[in-house]
Structure 1
């Protein structure tokens, strides 16, 4: 009788070979020494192991290469600590599933026009993970029209039938703003992300929701648009300071670092004069002075889940589309002033 509970890892362990070697033998691929092939096949025959249909269908794909497309300039890409974490997780998961990862960067519509024929070429890639940047996203729509397997990181606005993975940006922003009010702050402002992105729009929506629930009027002077960069955070915080907020929810840690620079330059102190909560929980957040209270995104889980979802799309097809929002977590450090708030 077949042992249906056995995994590929267990088959590899019983045969004394790597997982990759076991996978190659079971899927009848070349480049395996005869003695290793025989060891794996003896275990397979003894246990009655059968590769499940989804895994087998994945193994039959043409190239075993998936693409990761990031609409960022090379300069901006290496400046943002979010991307190394994401790519490391995606690459690690690709390796686990015997896939090769190809990375594509672009920053303009002209670049996209040149990129599209390369990534959509028949047989080059089995599928694509696309990190959505701006709301205007013609690449996703074009790939969907050709029934190309696509998984989008970030909630796309105008392509409802595409599968996507995102954090619950609205809920995350709500946690941040509610925490600032709960710690005694009354004049809570926000530096939004770029409002040409769904992340920027959704995090602003969370801010508005908390204000509405508390019957707090929304002051336009307390809402300034940033661009997810440190320099942008510095500049827009300078715009906010004359309006004397006592707390600011900032839609990314990178912008929050720039805001801390502007506050310090103005001779003010965080959190005594202005409390700050960011979003992302990147490494610089806990290295900041003071350490940054922030909303944690599960970026590493993002990468693993994105690869697994794309493999499922490759195996089973794009319909019905998968729409997954992952939870966020409030990480309390010194910048929000929670340790200064009166008890109760």
Structure 2
């Protein structure tokens, strides 16, 4: 559907574009009350919304930066958003969009139409070459988080995901676990592949492989759905690549009256804000989410200020946060 323009309002009201512009910008004192009323009525009937990007070309210019995430419901991305909002300078406006793989192209078009000068991708980009070409043609720089580690982006923020997966394996093995399940989302992003690789590599140093590998949807319900397979595997521990899924697994185990960590140990990834409020509290791998959001925003602003900067990359470490959901393996294996 074509966007209603100021020209459409002028035509409907029977006045000049200049008159509409002045009236809508509260500078229409010289026009009669009847003319002003006609313009406002035409605006409301047509549903015209002034283009803030165009308006900002006059007077003090506020730079508009778009941030695309997979979901606002996931605490990890909610924290990223909050950290960016808290650290945004006064001359920058941020606009956030949630997008599925299927709606990503529409989300990008929508933000470009709104006049964004730069983009931050906090989600996986499936059609990378196409997106890259589209944004380069329009001179819109973009930064990616590590869901897109192998894309040819100018700027990137990464965390040491391989080490995170390795830490999870080492922690479970240090507690005596040898029958360890791995629970993955159906669609692995680049950073999750690194988590998996670190986990498998560290198991292999002890001549171990996962007791079972279960794939499920990246959600609490997905974790819940994986529980039956997990129980059937008789694993004594499980590494789950995301706290969202881990929460679902904890709930599913509770439904089956399986005690964590007495019967099975569970470790997640991300250290989302509710991990420490679960019963039991969740052992997990923590990422410095607040710093990631702040740094990503600073980097993309720096790119706008200095378009010819060389590649910018920031790399963050992760840490193991030990809570109640992991414990020593019991001598009586497979009793659940």
**Displacement, 1:140?**
4.6
Aligned 8 A contact 1:252 1:279 in 2: yes
**Which of residues 328, 335, 340 in structure 1 aligns to 2:318?**
328
* Whole-angstrom distance in 2 between the partners of 1:241 and 1:141: 47
Q: Say whether 1:222 aligns with 2:215.
A: no
The TM-score, its normalising length taken from structure 2, stands at: 0.74
The 1:135/1:190 distance shift into structure 2, 3 A limit, reads farther
Aligned 8 A contact 1:194 1:200 in 2: no
**Displacement, 1:325?**
2.4
The 1:131/1:144 distance shift into structure 2, 3 A limit, reads farther
Larger radius of gyration: 2
Q: Which runs of 5+ in 1 are unaligned?
A: 1-59
**Which of residues 108, 121, 124 in structure 1 aligns to 2:115?**
124
**Displacement, 1:62?**
5.2
The 1:231/1:141 distance shift into structure 2, 3 A limit, reads farther
Query: Equivalent residue for 1:290?
Result: 280
Q: Say whether 1:159 aligns with 2:159.
A: no
Query: Equivalent residue for 1:98?
Result: 91
**Displacement, 1:209?**
0.7
The 1:113/1:185 distance shift into structure 2, 3 A limit, reads closer
**Displacement, 1:256?**
0.6
The 1:327/1:270 distance shift into structure 2, 3 A limit, reads same
**Which of residues 170, 173, 184 in structure 1 aligns to 2:165?**
173
**Displacement, 1:337?**
1.0
The 1:338/1:317 distance shift into structure 2, 3 A limit, reads farther
**Displacement, 1:230?**
0.3
**Displacement, 1:136?**
4.4
**Displacement, 1:97?**
5.0
| 1:39-68 CA-partner distances (Å, limit 9, x unpaired) | xxxxxxxxxxxxxxxxxxxxx995422111
Q: Say whether 1:198 aligns with 2:193.
A: no
* Whole-angstrom distance in 1 between the partners of 2:106 and 2:222: 30
Number of residue pairs matched by the alignment: 272
2:325 alignment partner, SS class: coil
Q: Say whether 1:82 aligns with 2:76.
A: yes
Query: Equivalent residue for 2:271?
Result: 281
**Displacement, 1:204?**
1.1
1:181 alignment partner, SS class: helix
**Displacement, 1:318?**
5.8
* Whole-angstrom distance in 2 between the partners of 1:204 and 1:265: 28
Q: Which runs of 5+ in 2 are unaligned?
A: 1-58, 332-336
**Which of residues 121, 124, 132 in structure 2 aligns to 1:133?**
124
Query: Equivalent residue for 1:53?
Result: none
Query: Equivalent residue for 2:239?
Result: 249
Aligned 8 A contact 1:188 1:222 in 2: yes
* Whole-angstrom distance in 2 between the partners of 1:107 and 1:172: 26
The TM-score, its normalising length taken from structure 1, stands at: 0.72
| 1:199-255 CA-partner distances (Å, limit 9, x unpaired) | 321211111111122221x24x61112332000011122212111111111111111
**Which of residues 278, 294, 307 in structure 1 aligns to 2:297?**
307
Alpha carbon RMSD of aligned pairs, Å?
2.6
* Whole-angstrom distance in 2 between the partners of 1:196 and 1:263: 24
1:303 alignment partner, SS class: helix
| 1:154-210 CA-partner distances (Å, limit 9, x unpaired) | 241552243211221111111111101011111111112344411321211111111
* Whole-angstrom distance in 2 between the partners of 1:82 and 1:265: 26
The 1:237/1:127 distance shift into structure 2, 3 A limit, reads same
* Whole-angstrom distance in 1 between the partners of 2:101 and 2:329: 45
2:87 alignment partner, SS class: helix
